[in-house]
Each structure stands twice: as C-alpha cells, then as structure tokens.
Amino acid sequence: MVQQAPALFLADTLGLDFLNSIATPVDTEIDWIEDGDGLLAWLDQAELVPPRTLAELREQALPGELDTIAAQARSLREDLRTFVRGHMGRPLRPEALPELAPLNRLLARDEGFLQLAAGQGDTPGLRLRTTRRWRSPDALLLPVGEALARFLSEEDLSYVKACEGPACTLLFADHTRGRVRRWCSMAICGNRAKQAAHRSRLRNGRDAG
C-alpha cells in the first residue's frame, strides 16, 4: 500500500467518519481502506481495535484475507453511505429497518462482553468496559458495525449534512448551536470558500472600475 495522509475524522461521530473513509481532501480521491493494510491503519487511527490485536490479526491472516475483509468493509461503507444520503435531513423511522438487515446480521456475529476495569484519569474506582473476542481477522468488521449502529441509533439524521464544498463528498453531524455548520472543516472547504469569495470580490471590483 502506498503511504497515505492520515485519515479524516471530521464528522463528529465515528460512524460517519467510516463513511468518509473515501474522500478528495485536495485534488485526488483517497480511499483509506482500499486494501487490508489500509483497513488496519484506519482502525488503528480510529482507535477501534487495540494495536496489539491488530498486530496479532495481521500475523494470523492468510494471504489475501485482509484484502478480502477490506473489500467487505468498502461494500458496507457504500451501502450505508447510500442509506444515510437517502434518509438524512429527517428523523430516521422504524420503517427503514429492513434496509439495515445486512448491518444487523454483522452485529449478530459479535462476541462482545463486559468487563470491570480500573477507572481512568479523574474517575477513580471501577468502570465497566465493553470488549470482544478477536477469534479471526474477519472480526475486524465488528467494531465498524458497532460504530455505525451507534451512529444510527443515537444521532438525529435531521442534522446530518453534506459539506457544501462543490467537490466535497464528506458528511457530518451538525452539533453546533443553531445547526449552522456548513463545511466538513473550516481548514479545508471553509477556507476554499473564503478564498473563492475573495477572488470573486476582486473580479467584481475590477469589472466595476
């Protein structure tokens, strides 16, 4: 795999960040999960799988197995991206559940369980932690399925938006006051819009002169 820029995590919810794992941040489209190595790197950056587990599953995988799992991840991404684009802008209704049957089938494979663990930071005592058994490399899809399910059950799709950048394909959950967010990132598309508006004002000024 060719070394790529770090993945984008701009959507304010991890499920949408997964759907945004293919994008055109500058001029060239990047698919961060185009192969098995890419999928492992994305899961690592998303902190969905412990690094030690990723290393163990890489060692355990048969030749080509991780590439096959990455292809399954891309198929899931495209199906869910189509679903979200078809339903965003309004609350998700129970009638949409049949369209999510493949995601529910993936979730049914999970072997997650709860564990008591030590508290972290300013939270002393014990905490309840969800973990899972990583029996084979295809378990790598399970935390992705969980992130998507949490997004669909916890976010109001009324406030899921597409970036207004003309060439941008990124989606995000608008959690701003007044729901006024327009861009995937002010540093990317927001800045491009400002530059375009500035150039337009300069042209109009010259034309008026």
Residue 131 falls within a domain, yes or no?
no
Q: Does pTM surpass 0.85?
A: yes
Query: Could you give the CA distance from residue 116 to residue 28 in angstroms, rounded to a whole number?
Result: 45
Query: Could you give the CA distance from residue 151 to residue 160 in angstroms, rounded to a whole number?
Result: 11
Residue 161 falls within a domain, yes or no?
yes
Selection from 159, 148, 154 nearest residue 89 by Cα:
159
pLDDT at 4: 72
Residue 124 falls within a domain, yes or no?
no
Residue 123 falls within a domain, yes or no?
no
Residue 94 falls within a domain, yes or no?
yes
Residue 137 falls within a domain, yes or no?
no
Contact at 8 Å (CB) between 15 and 151? yes
Q: Which residues contact 86 (CB under 8 A, 6 or more apart)?
A: none
| pLDDT < 70 regions, the chain | 1-3, 190, 192-209
Give the domain CATH number at 83: 1.10.3300
Residue 115 falls within a domain, yes or no?
no
Domain span at residue 37?
14-100+147-208
In 130-179, which residue ranges form alpha helices assigned H by DSSP? 141-154
Residue 6 falls within a domain, yes or no?
no
How many domains are there within the chain? 1
Contact at 8 Å (CB) between 87 and 100? no
pLDDT at 207: 58
pLDDT at 122: 78
Identify the bridge partners of residue 129 per DSSP, sorted by sequence position: 115
